[in-house]
Amino acid sequence: MTMILQVEGVGKVFGGLQALSDVTFDLPQGQILGLIGPNGAGKTTLFNVINGVYPPNGGRVIFNGEDVTGSKTYHMAHRGLARTHQIVRPLNELTVRENVIVGACFGREGHGLGQAGKVADEVMEFVGLAVRADQLAGSLNVGQKKRLEMARALAARPYLLLLDEVLAGLNPSEIAGMVEIVRKIRERGITIIMIEHVMHAVMNVSDRMIVLDYGQQLAEGTPEEVANNPKVIEAYLGDPELAERLMRDSDEE
Amino acid sequence: MDFLFASIIDGLLLGFVYGIAAMGLTLIWGVMNVINLAHGPIIALGMFGVYLIFTGLGVNPYIGVVLVAVLGLLLGMLIYYIAVHRVINAPHLSTLLATFSINMIIIGLGTAVFSASPRNVDFSLGSMTLGPITLLGSRVVAAVASLLITGGLYAFLYKTRQGRYIRAVANNRDAAELMGVPSTKILALSFGLGTMLASVAGALIATFFPFTILAGGVYELKSFVIGVLGGLGNPIGALFGGLILGVLEGIIPTFMPTTWVPVLEFVLFVLILLVRPQGIFGAKK
Amino acid sequence: MSGIRKYLGLILAIVVVLAMAAWPVINGKDITREVVFTMLLSVGLASSLNILLGYTGYVSFGHVVFFGLGGYVGFYLMAVHDWSLWTAMIAGGLASAALAFLLGKAILRLRGGYFALATIGVNEAVRAFINNFDPFGGPVGMSLNFQVYKNYGGGAREALWMSFYILVALTLLITVVTYMVRSSKFGLGLLAIREDEDAAEVMGVIAPNAKTWAYVLSAVFPGILGVLFFFKNGNIEPAPAFRLQMSIEMIVMVMLGGQGTVLGPILGGAGYQRLRGFLLTNPLFKNIQLAVAGVLLLVIVLFVPAGVVGWVRQRFPKLRRVLQ
């Protein structure tokens, strides 16, 4: 199996706070990796280190066999890494189509405007934003803005896609639609890491999962293994006995 | 050597007043992230305030300074409500241009009323001689007044409820609002205080330098330099920055032509912005 | 989209510039030529600044430094080394571009108000330096020998008309360049930086480079215009060459017309100068023209921040294709 991403002993400190310590994992091409953990566990920080928002204080990040530790975000984009933001960042005064064209123009394939327009039209159709193409991005609702984040990232034709809580704030039918999109992206051969709090969705769609807590890797494995790990449940619920009871309940089912 | 010493003392005394002017600019920046481009004309208004009170009404110029302070506070609050409040959350460009429009209005009206001819406040406190150096009374008084004002400002910011509100808003306006701080009033008060400091600085400068309605521009630029030296948003840093600039202005002309002073000042200014934008005295972020 | 419709925005912008240029040519009056010269100069400066201010979102408060420096370099070459106006204009433009390039990597790291302050500092530093720089005449500046104008079609009047025609050509060139930038991939990158620089970088826009080139592009034409202006003027001094007020006027013109649009700075530059001319000559406003202009600026900033063109585009989305 070819590894698209190898994270080796990555640590990050913010003014005395250990946001990440010794995070290590390999991600094979074509998989979906679910990244879960309580708020403040360091999930988004891990994304930021991988895509170059800031360099790690220790460890290495290897992307497609190349050491990319400390690379700038735009260089990561050119190498084939795209991401969405937890708090959406639409380019408000540009149209939806222009937003997506930016992704296509400056991403891995680096299209000219003409070709980028075609890519944008295709991607907008794919995520269901085609009807909003000429609307200003600032005028979209939250669900549509999340789709826009997704469309911009996809337009870059990435090898690896980092999805930061694309389901948060969506209603159940929107969630179902988005999960469907994620599955279809994987079918295209794009590897995905997704941070998610909507547990049933991420369990459903992930091949493997990693649990972060206080910047540490608490557990790793298939969704079932992770779900049955008492340490994970404790971290989420903060009460070992409650955790045990819950596990017993689920065993009885 | 004596000459150098005298230049340094002169520069120091002037530096206190520069510090007060810059404090006005930096206070507004620190509280609401607004660069007040009406700063220069407000300094000039302070100069004319003392001039009118002294030559028009025959009142002692130092009582005039106090009156100017009160008027400066009110003027600043008025400017805030008219020009700044509506764009306080807009991009930087809006507040820059809004305050610049106030600059144009003051200069425009001021030129029409006072013309551009130089004035001076003809009032002397004499001078005193200490060994080789001669101190001008008006400059000593201005320096002492500046120190008192700085002390007063800090007492206000740290000992009164309004002052604590100002610091809370400077720190985090949203959080302060959540805790019940009336942020609009506090912002207006802060703008008023900044304007008050600028006009008082102008009033003090008027007691020893001649001036025109355009004279504030120079001090506005100096205030930028000082504010950046001391760290934008840091009032006590502005006082130290003022002293540094004053001493530099005293020393540099002893070994190179005076006209090189602004070159060095602005090169220093840009360098500090690039290397230490938090200022010499600012904490590293 | 058919060919003509695609370029409607550019065509409209060019028609507006040509209409202004035609006015003195038709009535043949020197005074009209001078009025339109000032208007077109403002249009050129405002359109150049728009590349940085309107497209990229960086507020350069000291943009006049490029006008002054270019003007000085070109003037020096004409006055002291007998260069022709043409080569001097190229040299002036290159000098300003070089300064922008050197500064760009350094000060474009600063964001918001810090960048604005740094540009003011740069302008004041350069002004103070030129004031002390003897080859450029120090505080006195330099003058052109009147004989120089003989090389350009005879007397002073011919030289003035020639300067006017050069300015028209330059303004058209700047208009085309700003349009091309606006509708290019490079321009799209700039707009992305304006909207959200970090997000743009995550999408792959190499912001440090893009910003620097935008800065260079917005500096080169003011440099050329500076040479032309001071050539026509006959002398150059530090104060008028680096007048901070002029920087701010440039921003006001861009704001007035509508930042980030091609047509906006053209209408803004021309409109601002017309208004100023009106206020200066009107007996009622003559003495308080600056204050009246200040009130107008305040009203625009507070109530029409998108400028004239921006406002129309918001109100009438159908006109967006025409008003670019």
What confidence tens digit (pLDDT) does each residue in B222-264 have?
Answer: 999 999 888 888 888 999 999 999 999 888 888 888 889 889 9
Residue A251 has pLDDT above 70, yes or no: no
Question: Which residues of chain C have a Cβ shorter than 8 Å from any chain A Cβ?
Answer: 184-185, 188-189, 191-192, 194-196, 198-207, 260
Q: What is the pLDDT of residues C70-94, one digit of tens each?
A: 999 999 999 999 999 999 999 999 9
Separation between Cα atoms, residue C262 and residue B112, nearest integer Å: 37
Measured between CB atoms, does C280 come within 8 Å of chain B? no
Is residue B280 domain-resident? no
Q: Which residues of chain B make contact with C118, given a CB cutoff of 8 A? A: 270, 273-274
A106 chain-C contacts, CB cut-off 8 A: 189, 192, 200, 203-205
For A184-240, write each residue's pLDDT tens digit: 999 999 999 999 988 888 888 999 999 998 899 988 999 888 888 888 877 776 655
pLDDT given at position B195: 97
Structure confidence at residue B166 (pLDDT): 92
Flag whether B262 is in a domain: yes
Q: Are A102 and C196 within 8 A, CB to CB? A: no
pLDDT of amino acid C171: 97
Q: Report the residue of C120, C195, C286 to disrupt the B interface, i.e. the one with the largest count of B CBs within 10 Å.
A: C120
State how far residue C114 is from chain A, nearest Cα, in angstroms.
22
User: Between residues C2 and A121, which one has the greater pLDDT?
Assistant: A121
Domains plus CATH for chain C? 3-321 (1.10.3470)
| Neighboring chain B residues of C291 at a CB cutoff of 8 Å | 104-109, 112
Confidence at residue C3, expressed as pLDDT on a 0 to 100 scale: 66
The predicted-structure confidence for C29-67, as pLDDT tens digits, reads as follows 999 999 999 999 999 999 999 999 999 999 998 999 999
Is C192 in contact with A93 (Cβ distance < 8 A)?
no
| Average pLDDT of the residues in C155-169 | 90
Tell me which DSSP letter residue C203 carries.
T
Residue B228 belongs to a domain:
yes
* A242, pLDDT greater than 70: no
- For A122, A188, C283, C300, the CA distances from C286, given in Å and listed in that order, are 60, 70, 5, 21
Question: pLDDT category, C122, cuts 50, 70, 90?
Answer: very high
Q: Report whether pLDDT(B120) > 80.
A: yes
User: Which residue, A100, A127, A157, sits at the end of a domain?
Assistant: A157
Q: Judge whether residue A245 has pLDDT over 60.
A: no
C142 vs C152, higher pLDDT = C142
Out of B137-141, B155-159, B280-284, least confident range: B280-284
Q: Judge if A124 and A177 occupy the same domain.
A: no
What domain range is B182 assigned to? 2-275
B-chain residue closest to C58, CA distance = B93
Residue C46: partners with Cβ closer than 8 Å, 6 or more residues away: C250, C253, C254, C257, C265, C266, C268, C269
pLDDT of B67 = 94
Q: Which of residues 25-64 of A touch C (CB under 8 A)?
A: 51, 53
Q: Are residues A28 and A140 in the same domain?
A: no
Q: How many domains does the structure of chain B reveal? A: 1
With respect to residue B284, please indicate whether it lies within any of the assigned structural domains.
no
User: Domain ends where: A101, A134, A157?
Assistant: A157
Nearest-angstrom CA–CA distance, B36 and B233:
12
CATH number of the structural domain spanning residue A57: 3.40.50.300
Residue among C39, C48, C54 at smallest CA distance from C255 = C54
The confidence score (pLDDT) of residue A41 equals 87
Summarize pLDDT for B212-222 with one digit per residue, the tens: 999 998 999 99
pLDDT band at A253 (very low <50, low <70, confident <90, very high): very low
Residues A146, A214, single domain; the answer is no
As a whole-number percent, the residues of chain A with pLDDT over 90 amount to 68
Judge whether B110 lies within some domain: yes
> Would you call B270 and C292 a contact, using CB atoms and an 8 Å cutoff?
no
Dump strand ranges (E) for chain B: 127-130, 133-136
Residues in chain C closer than 8 A to B41 (CB atoms): none
Q: Is C25 on the interface with B (CB under 8 A)?
A: no
Contacts of A78 in chain C (CB under 8 A): 204
pLDDT score recorded for residue A240? 55
Alpha carbon distance, N-terminus to C-terminus of chain B: 41
Q: Is the Cβ pair B103, C294 closer than 8 Å?
A: yes
Average pLDDT, chain C: 91
Residues of chain A contacting residue C205, judged by C-beta atoms under 8 Å apart: 74, 102, 106
Check pLDDT > 80 for residue C270: yes
Does the pLDDT at position A80 exceed 60? yes
Q: What is the mean pLDDT of chain B?
A: 89
Produce one character per residue of C268-302: b if its CB has 16 or more CB atoms within 10 Å, e if not: bbbbbbeebeebeeeeebebbbbbbbbebbbebbb
DSSP state string for chain A: --EEEEEEEEEEEETTEEEEEEEEEEEETT-EEEEE-STTSSHHHHHHHHTTSS--SEEEEEETTEE-TT--HHHHHHHTEEE--SS----TTSBHHHHHHHHHHHSSS---HHHHHHHHHHHHHHHT-GGGTTSBGGGS-HHHHHHHHHHHHHHT--SEEEEESSSTT--HHHHHHHHHHHHHHHHTT-EEEEE-S-HHHHHHH-SEEEEEETTEEEEEE-HHHHHT-HHHHHHHHS-HHHHHHHHHHHHH-
Cβ within 8 Å of B, C 132-151: 132, 139
Model pLDDT for residues B20-51, shown as the tens digit of each residue: 999 999 999 999 989 999 999 999 999 999 99
Q: Is residue B227 part of a domain?
A: yes
Confidence label for A144 from pLDDT (cuts 50, 70 and 90): very high
Q: In this structure, are A7 and A118 located in the same domain? A: no
pLDDT, residue C221, reads 98
Is the pLDDT at B9 greater than 90? The verdict is: no
Res B284: pLDDT: 44
Label residue C1 by pLDDT band (50, 70, 90).
Answer: very low
Nearest CA of chain C to the CA of A202: how many Å? 24
Question: What domain range includes position A40?
Answer: 3-80+159-252
**Residues in C touching B37 (Cβ below 8 Å):** 248
- Nearest-CB residue to C204 (from A53, A77, A112): A77
Express as a percent the part of chain C with pLDDT over 90: 69
pLDDT at C218: 97
Q: Are residues A131 and A39 in the same domain?
A: no
Q: Within this chain, do residues A221 and A126 fall inside the same structural domain, yes or no?
A: no
Distance from CA of B275 to the nearest CA of C (A): 10
- Rounded to an integer, the average pLDDT of A76-104 is 95
Q: Do A85 and C207 touch (CB under 8 A)?
A: no
Q: Do A89 and C192 touch (CB under 8 A)?
A: no
- Per-residue model confidence (pLDDT) at position C208: 95
pLDDT computed for residue A248 by the predictor: 54
A contact residues 115-134, partner C, Cβ 8 Å cutoff: 116
Q: Examine the domain organization and report whether A138 and A171 are in the same domain.
A: no
Element (H, E) at C273: helix C263-281
Chain B residues in contact with C305 (beta carbon < 8 A): 87, 90, 94
Residue A128 above 80 pLDDT? yes
Structural domain tally of chain A? 2
- Tell me what percent of the residues of chain B surpass a pLDDT of 90: 56
Alpha carbon B71 to its chain centroid, in Å, reads 15
Residue from the list A83, A112, A113 with its beta carbon closest to the beta carbon of C202: A83
Does position C2 have pLDDT exceeding 70, yes or no?
no
Calculate what percentage of chain C has a pLDDT beyond 70. Answer: 98
Mutation for testing the A interface, residue in C197, C203, C209, C318 having most A CBs under 10 Å: C203
Residues A164 and A243 in one domain: yes
pLDDT score at C279: 86
Most confident of B153-167, C104-118, C203-217: C203-217
**Is the predicted pLDDT of residue B133 greater than 80, yes or no?**
no
Which of C185, C195, C202 lies closest to A94 in CB terms? C195
**Binary contact (B105, C139; C-beta < 8 A):** no
Does one domain contain both A63 and A141?
no
How far apart are the CA of A243 and the nearest CA of chain C, in angstroms?
A: 39
